[in-house]
């Protein structure tokens, strides 16, 4: 596993599964930096309308500006190493890295940056921003929610879990291969746990 | 041993025999193709896997139905023109064939269940079949070759079974004819 941003801060390095304490308080909002150890970034495609397959990115860096009391003011930026795509089917990773899909040689990174629109409540709030895949940037909306917030007895700290989901059309990013076998619509899911 | 019937195989027993033969031949052939297909022919590969799983999973219920019919109704009386050792060899082959007809699809189902790729099983691309086991790479690596080896054993044994039936048929015996209902 590569050394992520969590260790760069040198804080709470042993926690592994959590984005550590805020690096730099910014007014009421706190800045959290996390990678694949504290969060999950998945994508799901459908096949023939009845089958699904889910892959994930094992190397990404995310920065979250959030006031856990008021997540409706959140801001998020995620940078994904496209070569770190993972899908547990023989040959799938090579296919997804190939020029027809993520084209990782030419486009080593994909990005999302967005902010809460202020609409909604904790159980369901909107994030709007821009998604860049294969060098093409499109507006992208995600729906986020606070999954749970509870005291973690092992850590002696309060932990909040957020998730966000959104749908994109891969053809809008120039990824048009295998239209018959792989749905154009791809579902993105992000999960992260942070120390409040 | 079960009761014996001098009237030959019933129509249901004959149909179930040939249905299993066709399903196994098709599932085996598709199995070889689906594994060989590259991911660049993804649509064919996906369809081939689902067809293989659909055909394969139809076999055990048909075989259980047949075993039930055989227990209830019995099988035709042995042809006295065939030597006893050949009857014993045939009985052993039939036992092994029945066992493999049940075991190979079951192993295939377990291989699909434990596959790390988590591809669903959907009969006729319509009926979802829940997987009994969670993905488990180590277990999958164990089960898959057993499924494959047992499938080859089933097909080779069935080929021997067919060769023996043809052999008796050429000698004017009714072995094949009575399974054809003639």
- What size, in residues, is chain B? 182
Judge whether residue B181 has pLDDT over 70: yes
Q: How far apart are CA B41 and CA B24, in angstroms?
A: 24
What pLDDT score does A66 carry? 83
B143 CB neighbour count, 10 Å cutoff: 22
Tokens of A164: 């966000």
Order of all β-strands in the sheet with A60-66 = A30-35, A60-66, A75-81, A109-121, A124-133, A136-152, A157-169, A185-195, A39-47, A51-57, A85-86
- Cβ A50–B125 below 8 Å, yes or no? yes
Q: For residue B106, which of B51, B137, B63, B68 has the smallest C-alpha distance?
A: B63
For residues B66 and B31, what is the distance between their CA atoms, to the nearest angstrom? Answer: 24
Residue B78, pLDDT score: 85
pLDDT tier at B3, thresholds 50, 70, 90: very low
When CB atoms are compared, the residue of B116, B120, B135 closest to A51 is B120
B153 pLDDT more than 90: yes
Give the one of A47, A48, A92 whose C-beta lies nearest to B39's C-beta: A92
What integer pLDDT is reported at residue B1 of this predicted model? 40
- If you average pLDDT over residues A135-158, what whole number do you get? 90
Strand ranges in B34-138 using DSSP code E only, listed in sequence order: 75-76, 121-123, 127-129
User: What pLDDT score does A18 carry?
Assistant: 55
Burial class (CB in 10 A: 0-12, 13-18, 19+), A139: exposed
The CATH number assigned to the domain with range B8-180 reads 1.20.950
Q: What is the pLDDT of residue A14?
A: 33
Residue A146: name the closest of A76, A44, A68, A64 by CA: A68
Backbone angles phi, psi at A184, to 5 degrees: -70, -35
The model's confidence at residue A70, banded by pLDDT at 50, 70 and 90, is: confident
Among all chains, which residue has been given the structure tokens 């054809």?
A: B180
Please state which of the ranges A34-38, A73-77, A110-114, B101-105 shows the lowest mean pLDDT. Answer: A34-38
What's the whole-number mean pLDDT along residues B39-49? 91
CB B57 within 8 A of CB B101: no
Q: Please name each of the domains of chain A with its CATH number.
A: 28-195 (2.40.128.110)
Diameter over CA atoms, chain A: 51
Cα B145 to Cα A120, A139, B24, B56, B108, distances in angstroms: 52, 47, 18, 16, 10
On the question of pLDDT at B69 being above 60, the answer is yes
**Residues belonging to chain A:** 196
Residue range B101-137, pLDDT digits in tens: 999 999 999 999 999 888 899 999 999 999 999 999 9
Nearest by CB: A95 against B39, B47, B117: B39
Give the least confident one: A87-91, B57-61, B140-144: A87-91
Contact criterion met (CB below 8 Å) for A87 and A104: no
Instruction: Return the structure tokens found at B159.
Output: 């080929």
Residues A131 and A138: beta-carbon distance below 8 Å: yes
Average pLDDT over residues A145-157: 87
| Residue A159's pLDDT band (cuts 50, 70, 90) | confident
Q: Do B46 and A87 touch (CB under 8 A)?
A: no
Instruction: Please name every residue paired with A126 in a beta bridge, in sequence order, or none if there are none.
Output: A143
Nearest Cα neighbor of A162 from A112, A127, A110 is A127
- Check pLDDT > 70 for residue B6: no
What is the C-alpha R_g of chain B? 18
Q: Is A99's Cβ below 8 Å from some Cβ in B?
A: no
Chain A residues lying within 8 Å of B46, measured CB to CB: 47-48, 51, 181
pLDDT in tens, B70-110: 999 989 888 888 899 999 999 999 999 999 999 999 999 99
* pLDDT of B174 above 60: yes
Which residue is associated with the tokens 């986020």?
A: A144
> Tokens 């092994």 correspond to what residue?
B96
Beta strand extents in chain A (DSSP E only)? 30-35, 39-47, 51-57, 60-66, 75-81, 85-86, 109-121, 124-133, 136-152, 157-169, 185-195
Collect all residues of chain A within an 8 Å Cβ-Cβ radius of residue B128.
50
In chain B, % of residues over pLDDT 70: 97
Percentage of chain B with pLDDT > 90? 79
Answer whether A178 sits within 8 Å of B42, measured CB to CB: yes
Calpha distance B31→B24 (Å, rounded): 10
Q: What is the DSSP string of B17-45?
A: HHHHHHHHHHHHHHHHHHHHS-GGGHHHH
Q: Which residues contact A15 (CB under 8 A, 6 or more apart)?
A: A6, A155, A195
Question: Residue A194: phi, psi to the nearest 5?
Answer: -125, 150
ipTM: 0.71
Indicate the domain borders of chain B.
8-180
Q: Which band of pLDDT confidence, cut at 50, 70 and 90, is reported for residue B50? A: very high
Say yes or no to pLDDT of A7 above 60. Answer: no
- Mean pLDDT (chain B) is 93
* Least Cα separation, residue B114 to chain A (angstroms): 12
What's the pTM? 0.80
Interface with chain A: mutation pick from B38, B41, B42, highest number of A CBs within 10 Å: B42
Q: Report residue B5's pLDDT band, with 50, 70 and 90 as the boundaries.
A: low
> Nearest 5°: CA angle at B180, between B177 and B182?
60
CA A120 to chain centre: 20
């Amino acid at each position: 596993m590569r050394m992520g941003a969590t260790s760069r801060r040198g804080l709470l390095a042993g926690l592994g599964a959590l984005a550590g304490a805020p690096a730099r308080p910014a007014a009421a909002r706190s800045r959290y930096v996390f990678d694949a150890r504290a969060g999950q970034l998945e994508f799901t495609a459908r096949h023939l309308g009845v089958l699904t397959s889910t892959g994930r990115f094992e190397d990404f860096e995310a920065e979250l500006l959030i006031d856990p009391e008021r997540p409706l003011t959140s801001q998020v930026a995620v940078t994904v190493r496209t070569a770190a795509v993972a899908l547990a089917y023989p040959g799938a990773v090579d296919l997804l890295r190939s020029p027809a899909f993520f084209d990782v040689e030419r486009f080593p990174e994909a990005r999302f940056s967005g902010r809460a629109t202020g609409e909604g409540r904790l159980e369901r709030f909107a994030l709007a921003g821009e998604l860049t895949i294969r060098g093409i940037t499109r507006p992208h909306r995600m729906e986020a929610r606070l999954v749970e917030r509870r005291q973690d007895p092992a850590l002696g700290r309060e932990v909040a879990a957020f998730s966000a989901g959104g749908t994109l059309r891969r053809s809008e990013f120039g990824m048009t291969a295998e239209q018959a076998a792989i749905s154009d619509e791809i579902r993105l899911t992000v999960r992260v746990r942070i120390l409040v | 041993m079960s009761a014996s019937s001098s009237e030959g195989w019933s129509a249901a027993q004959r149909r179930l025999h040939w249905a299993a033969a066709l399903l196994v031949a098709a599932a085996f052939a598709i199995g070889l193709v689906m594994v060989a297909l590259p991911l660049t022919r993804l649509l064919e590969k996906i369809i081939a896997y689902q067809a293989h799983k659909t055909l394969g999973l139809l076999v055990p219920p048909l075989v259980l139905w047949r075993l039930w019919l055989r227990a209830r109704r019995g099988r035709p009386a042995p042809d006295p023109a065939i030597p006893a050792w050949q009857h014993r060899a045939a009985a052993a082959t039939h036992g092994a064939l029945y066992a493999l007809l049940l075991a190979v699809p079951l192993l295939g189902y377990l291989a699909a269940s434990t596959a790390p790729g988590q591809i669903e099983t959907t009969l006729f691309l319509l009926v979802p079949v829940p997987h009994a086991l969670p993905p488990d790479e180590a277990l999958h690596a164990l089960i898959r070759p057993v499924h494959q080896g047992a499938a080859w054993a089933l097909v080779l044994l069935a080929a021997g079974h067919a060769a023996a039936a043809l052999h008796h048929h050429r000698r004017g015996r009714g072995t094949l004819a009575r399974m054809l209902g003639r």
